Structure 1
Amino acid sequence: MKLHSIVKSTLLAAAVISTGLQAKPVYVATTAIVEHPALDAVRDGVKSVLEESGYTGDELKFTYESAQGQPAIAAQIARKMVGDEPDVIVAIATPSAQAAVSVSRNIPVVFSAVTDPIGAKLVQSLKQPGSNVTGLSDMVNVRQHLALIKEFVPNLKTLGVPYNPGEANSVSSVAALKVAAAEMGIKIIESAAPKSADVMIATKQLVGKVDAIYCPIDNTIISAVESVIKVGIDAQIPVFAGDTDTVSRGAVAAVGYNYFDLGRQTGDIVVRILKGEKAGSIDVKMAEGTDLYVNPKMAAKMGIEVPAAVLARATKVIK
């Protein structure tokens, strides 16, 4: 290297130090359709992995915005995020993921807590999805859920399901639930709740028609699940859930994912992209791990008991 080049490099380095210039921080923009414990846990799990991977302090810009349950707001947030040009967009839950994917052409989008990525038209394939999109699916084992409910309600014949028909993930879940239920001799009775304010009415419409109520992983229902719980107590109909966080809020039981762990699994994907991998070359990941939560106090309030066999294998018992 020539002497003047060495001097020039040294002066440049000194200038950077003296002016306090720093490398541009990694920018991860996150958004969710609504704030509730499960989706919040996903966000927190993503951030924890980023920090453990060395993206901390001034080296990380991490933002979060909630669409407050409104798809139109989700679309506005997505457009704003694309304009801000983050390194990666993390979109939590199907409506927010759909909004982000629809407007992002070059910025990598990593979705999480999406039940059916293909049905939601986020990707065409789970293997090597291509384009700038990949993520994590939380497709649940509905047969496992039905089997759990039957342990509590052995004579289960009709199961009520409040859900938002406008959420693609809910439509997919209910369709899978109906297939599995038919094989087990259980009739599914649906009740539509297009928005959070409709959840109470939709649940009340099931009273007198069902032996139990099941809340799928539906952002609208979960955001107002206390309304479902109240109806369950008043009508003495046990309420079960598709996610374990809802058991802490009053559901009798659920077998499902730990959403903080799902966030960490999502965070692993984000880190791979930050280190240079293309989003479209990373297979969509299926969520791993299951927990069993039970709430004996709420079971009693709804007129049933937690079976000893269920209690013995519970991962967590809500006191």
Structure 2
Amino acid sequence: MKRREFIAGTAAILVSPRRSGAQGTPRRIGFLGAWADEPARDPAHAAWLRGLREKGWIEGKNLLVEYRYARDRLPALAAELIALAPDLLIASGPAAALALKSATATIPIVFVAVFDPVGLGLVRSLSHPGGNITGLATTAGVAVAKQIEILRELVPGASKVAILVNPDNPMHRLALAEEIPRTARELGVALPIVEATKAEELNSAFASASAQHAMAIIVLGDYLTVFESPRVIALAAEHQLPAIHLFRQFAKDGLVVYGPDLADIWRRAGSYLDKILKGTKPADLPVEQPTKLELVINMKTAKALGLTVPPSLLARADDVIE
């Protein structure tokens, strides 16, 4: 090799992005979601990006994100992401978390917005997750029994409360097998189940609840209802069904919300990503739970439904929308 060519080649290696300490190599992560939609439509996506920026990670600069979304192709999409050899995997929701956990035992996984990761078998315990997976849960005492208690304060004597579930959501299947039947027995209340796995099935789900003479409805947390929240709220109003929701975004026009701040959970996910990309093992990061549950009541919606909100419930509310 000629001396000039050798010098030029050595210089190219020294200043290449892979070797340059000044520029660094962008880290690559895979993002798997159970809902086939664009990230920009996800109401929590902006909060996640904000959490990343707070830790110095900028998508498109020092962080490359490969997104995959689908309801019925999660195992195949999980395999696609793993084939890219990412530094870390993000699982949005329980179905995506299960798909990634089944696909790799080596690449670090952070799940976000999983109601009961222990019950689902994702981790051994909240304090010692074990393996290559940890994350942020939405569980913190948000039980069906508590939601019924709140609804019964709004609708005294409610003996039949419908529950809207998505059978494709593994957390909903777990609740159907254990929590819901137990709650019905303990409280002596009828809990008819209405189902929707896609947007076009929401109409028939609410019509079924109305036909079964439900006096109120519990909308379980799910990406279908989150993305279709305006439609869910409109259907509850159309069928005159007082509804309780899990996430704050329903509070603007819905009746009552009791649950964690989903946007805050996604913002805090940035901290987990930051720690793992800097060398912390998922097994050493306890699963984080919400630090606060919010009770939000919309008085305008209550009035439209002909409901009187008792002072005791108003006194416990974190926010009252007039």
TM-score range, shorter chain: 0.7 to 0.9
Q: Which TM-score applies when normalising by structure 1?
A: 0.83
1:122 & 1:46 partners in 2: Cα distance? 22
Alignment of 1:154-193 (within 5 A): 154-174=156-176, 175-193=178-196
Task: Indicate the percent of aligned positions where both proteins have the same amino acid.
Answer: 26
Deviates most, 299-308 or 100-109? 299-308
| Aligned partner of residue 254 in structure 2, secondary structure | coil
On the 8 A contact 1:265/1:287 being kept in 2, the answer is no
Residues 276 and 294 of structure 1: CA distance in aligned 2, closer, same or farther (over 3 Å): same
Distance apart, 1:123 and its partner CA: 2.7
| Aligned partner of residue 61 in structure 1, secondary structure | strand
Letter in 2 for 1:77: L
2:220 & 2:130 partners in 1: Cα distance? 30
Residues 36 and 119 of structure 1: CA distance in aligned 2, closer, same or farther (over 3 Å): farther
Q: Give 1:4's aligned residue.
A: none
Any stretches of 5+ residues in structure 2 without a counterpart? 1-6
Distance apart, 1:271 and its partner CA: 1.8
1:53 & 1:121 partners in 2: Cα distance? 30
For residue 238 of structure 1, the aligned residue among 235, 238, 242 is 242
Q: Which TM-score applies when normalising by structure 2?
A: 0.82
Residues 132 and 304 of structure 1: CA distance in aligned 2, closer, same or farther (over 3 Å): same
Deviates most, 295-304 or 18-27? 18-27
Letter in 1 for 2:115: T
Residues 251 and 177 of structure 1: CA distance in aligned 2, closer, same or farther (over 3 Å): farther
Q: What are the Cα deviations for residues 74-124 of structure 1, in whole angstroms up to 9, with x where unaligned?
A: 333322221222211111111111222222232111101111223333234
Letter in 2 for 1:286: Q
Alignment of 1:65-104 (within 5 A): 65-67=68-70, 70-72=71-73, 74-104=74-104
2:63 & 2:179 partners in 1: Cα distance? 40
On the 8 A contact 1:71/1:95 being kept in 2, the answer is no
Any stretches of 5+ residues in structure 1 without a counterpart? 1-7
For residue 216 of structure 1, the aligned residue among 212, 216, 220 is 220
On the 8 A contact 2:134/2:283 being kept in 1, the answer is yes
Distance apart, 1:311 and its partner CA: 3.6
Deviates most, 209-218 or 142-151? 142-151
**Equivalenced residues, count:** 305
2:268 & 2:208 partners in 1: Cα distance? 38
Q: Give 1:3's aligned residue.
A: none
On the 8 A contact 2:112/2:269 being kept in 1, the answer is yes
